[in-house]
Every structure is written in structure tokens, then in C-alpha cells.
A and B are shown apart, each in its own frame.
Chain A
Amino acid sequence: KQEVTQIPAALSVPEGENLVLNCSFTDSAIYNLQWFRQDPGKGLTSLLLIQSSQREQTSGRLNASLDKSSGRSTLYIAASQPGDSATYLCAVATGAGSYQLTFGKGTKLSVIP
């Protein structure tokens, strides 16, 4: 059974700092990995989707990488801003024949002005 772990559970950084969020998964036979952002009391907003054949995806100040062999993904946020404060969730699509999305518990990011 796929397990997804996100470390750290919470992170506080000063504005302007570059930062990295980590996601690890136990089963490397994945279809894709998706990073989401969740603001308090809100739904999930998709940030980046990396397909299993890709190594990285970029969108603005965000860059996500994928290393299937080691079961790891990182989300890099450049020049952090207070508006980046949110919980970031990693989700992995796995399972030939029983396709399912498995979520990590998230990293709560606070960017201090």
C-alpha cells in the first residue's frame, strides 16, 4: 500500500527566503505526483502535476522535482511571500488496476513579513 510522508509538518520562514518542501513515497510505480495548496477552510488548488516520465515542472516561482527511484519529490518556492502561507499537500497516483490518489498530511508554511 502506498504511503506518502511530508516533512516537515510545519515550517516558518522570513519573507524573501527560498525554501524546499519534501515529499516521500514508498511505492515507486506511480502514474503521477501532484502538489496542491490549501488555505484554511478552503479546497485544494493544484499547483503542479509531474507525470511519471518527467523529472520536474515549473510554474512561476514554483519548481517541483520527481525522483521515482528514490521515492522523493521536492517543491521549491523561490523568494517566498506572506501570500504563500498555506498548507502544501503532496499526492501520488498509484496502482495498476486500482488507481488511487494517496495524500500526504501536508506541510503548513508560514512566511513572516
Chain B
Amino acid sequence: DGGITQSPKYLFRKEGQNVTLSCEQNLNHDAMYWYRQDPGQGLRLIYYSQIVNDFQKGDIAEGYSVSREKKESFPLTVTSAQKNPTAFYLCASEKGRYSNYGYTFGSGTRLTVV
């Protein structure tokens, strides 16, 4: 079955450490997105990518970085510059921006600072 796989499910980060969250899709979708979810705040867009080797900042990109070297993969790195990284991170994909097919989401990664 086609879908989006996020790993790991749970991740713990020490102060000053960079960590990378994985997102892989086999839907042949061009567009991929990273969202952060905090209690009571809804989902906020971190980064998005429309095609390979291209990505754009979303509303809360500071302290995060991404790459899009393959169509299937869109990893998110949470750097030490992100002061409050504890949150639930969701990756999504879409056939293409403006494609009007809707978003498909992964199962999420919960990141906790220890």
C-alpha cells in the first residue's frame, strides 16, 4: 500500500544536539511538507518542497533545516538553534501543489528534549 512513513516514532534530544526526523513516501507525490503540532495551537508549517532540490520556508522555519535530494524523501533536522523543539512533528505529501487532490499525512514523530 502507498503511504508516508515517518521514523522514529519517538525521539529524545539532549540540549545542544541536532536530530534528524525521517519522512519517506511511495505515493509518487511531488510536494512534501513538515508541520509542527503543539497542544492548543494547531498545526504550523515548518518547510515545504514542491520538487526535488527545491524547498521553501514556512511560518516557523527558524531552528530547522531540510533537504530534498530524492523525490521520495524529505528529512527534517532540528538544530540546536531551535529553543523549544518538544512537539509532535508531522510530514505530509500532495500529488503537486495546486493539484487539488488533498494531503496525505504520516503517523508522526514525537520529539522530547531531555
A residues adjacent to B (C-beta < 8 A): 31-32, 34, 36, 41-46, 49, 51, 89, 91, 93, 99-101, 103-106
Least CB separation from B97: chain A residue: A99
**Complex formed: what's the CA distance from A45 to B104 in Å?**
7
Do the beta carbons of A91 and B103 come within 8 Å of each other?
A: yes
B71, CB-defined interface residue at 8 Å:
no
**Complex formed: what's the CA distance from A46 to B107 in Å?**
12
**Complex formed: what's the CA distance from A40 to B43 in Å?**
15
Residues in chain A near residue B98, CB distance under 8 A = 31, 99
Total A-B residue pairs with C-beta atoms closer than 8 Å? 48
B45, CB-defined interface residue at 8 Å:
yes
Chain B interface helix/strand/loop/mixed:
strand
Residues in chain A near residue B100, CB distance under 8 A = 31-32, 51, 93
How far does the Cβ of A91 sit from chain B's closest Cβ, in whole Å?
Answer: 7
A sample of 7 more A-B contacts (CB under 8 A), given A34-B103, A41-B88, A44-B105, is A43-B106, A43-B107, A46-B105, A101-B45, A104-B42, A105-B40, A105-B41
Most chain-B Cβ atoms within 10 A of its Cβ — which of A41, A43, A44, A89?
A43
Residues in chain A near residue B43, CB distance under 8 A = 89, 91, 103
B8, CB-defined interface residue at 8 Å:
no
